[in-house]
Amino acid sequence: MRSVQTPEFEGVTFHEVLCKSILNKVPENSTLPFRFTVNTFRGCTHACRYCFARPTHEYLELDAGADFDSQVVVKLNAAAVLRKELRRRSWHRDVVALGTNTDPYQRAEGRYRLMPGVIGALTQAYTPMSILTKGTLLRRDLPLLRQAAGEVPVDISISLAFTAADEASRALQKRIEPGTPSAAARLDLIRAVADAGFAPHIMVAPVIPYLTDGVAVLDSLLGELADAGAAGVTAFPMHLRGATKDWFLSWVAEEHPALLKRYRSLYGRGAYVNAEYSRWLRERMGPLVAKHGLAGAAREREAPARPVVAEPELAGALTLF
């Protein structure tokens, strides 16, 4: 439709489009716990250096680095198209996952307000939903989500892998996820979600080898999550697929050059940490999760929408608690 720049979003261009479809079917052979996803944006101003969705920007002939952070495609008619798709006779009210590719509550959602329409469409169609976000804007829609939860199962997951208590962790979060709300703001969000009657599940993810995997930091984070009302956690190590790998490693070269060699050895030519690191992380996390009482809560949690991870290949690397 048009491309827009506005003073509140310095350096960002929004490409407003009318989409033809919005309900994406997950490939049949996927191990994910949901079959359908909806993404209202492409690109994300949260700008996480490790973001796995970066390579998808290349399909738009934009780059997976700075363009992903600053050239955001906005599907203006998302709710209307979704309503139409959910009216099909073939629709069987499967769980729809929101936020699997880019964050539905990134700052742009404040300007475009797409999610109320999406939530309304899913509720009207008696369709369960799961949301994954780092965005505190989710708080705006809690009353609506509460209403939706009266009709259909609604799962809310929040990503947080940094502790608010540690100064170095706070500084690192600003460098590595420069557009995201702070850890303290996300802890407040978790509290608000729990107070609204949901059982917030937390993605302690990705855990960034050598930077956020220290036992003191993880211990502090899990303590904060338990205090805030987290119902359970999922943790897994960072993976670096496609163009994301170069984008992340260029950041390491600038900010932590001493770690470059270790990352090259840990990831080799692939996208995933080696099995030894995965096992090491699982063994580190297990006792901490138990210590903070987050394991039992996770087990009690009901299907249908287990924590959302958009990478089928990742299943083997997951550490679920």
CB nearer to ligand SF4: pick between 102 and 319: 102
Give the distance from CA 252 to its chain's centroid. 22
User: DSSP of 162-176, one letter per residue?
Assistant: S-SS-HHHHHHHHHH
Task: Report whether 114 contacts 80 (CB < 8 A).
Answer: no
CB nearer to ligand SF4: pick between 53 and 202: 53
Task: Report whether 121 contacts 155 (CB < 8 A).
Answer: no
CB nearer to ligand SF4: pick between 53 and 64: 53
Q: How far is the CB of 284 from ligand SF4 (least distance, A)?
A: 23
Pairing of strands 96-98, 129-133: parallel
Q: How far is the CB of 53 from ligand SF4 (least distance, A)?
A: 5
**Residues contributing to the site for ligand SF4 (CB under 6 A):** 44, 46-48, 51, 53, 102-103, 134
Q: How far is the CB of 75 from ligand SF4 (least distance, A)?
A: 15
Question: How many Å apart are CA 261 and CA 210, to the nearest integer?
Answer: 12
Question: How many Å apart are CA 149 and CA 303, to the nearest integer?
Answer: 14
Q: Which strands sit side by side in the sheet containing 201-207, from one edge to the other?
A: 23-25, 36-38, 96-98, 129-133, 154-159, 201-207, 232-237, 319-320
Q: How far is the CB of 158 from ligand SF4 (least distance, A)?
A: 11
Q: How far is the CB of 68 from ligand SF4 (least distance, A)?
A: 7
CB nearer to ligand SF4: pick between 49 and 292: 49
Two tokens, residue 201: 């599940």
CB nearer to ligand SF4: pick between 71 and 123: 71
CB nearer to ligand SF4: pick between 173 and 220: 173
Task: Return the amino acid letter for 154.
Answer: V
Q: How far is the CB of 135 from ligand SF4 (least distance, A)?
A: 8
Q: How far is the CB of 102 from ligand SF4 (least distance, A)?
A: 4
Q: How far is the CB of 54 from ligand SF4 (least distance, A)?
A: 7
The residues pairing with 202 across neighbouring beta strands, listed in sequence order, are 158, 233
CB nearer to ligand SF4: pick between 123 and 181: 181
CB nearer to ligand SF4: pick between 77 and 102: 102
Q: How far is the CB of 46 from ligand SF4 (least distance, A)?
A: 4
Question: How many Å apart are CA 41 and CA 111, to the nearest integer?
Answer: 12
Pairing of strands 36-38, 96-98: parallel
In angstroms, the first-to-last Cα distance of the chain is: 44
**Helix 115-124, helix 78-86: angle, nearest 10:** 10
Q: Which residues have a Cβ under 8 Å from the Cβ of 94 and sit 6 or more positions away? A: 34, 35, 36, 127, 128
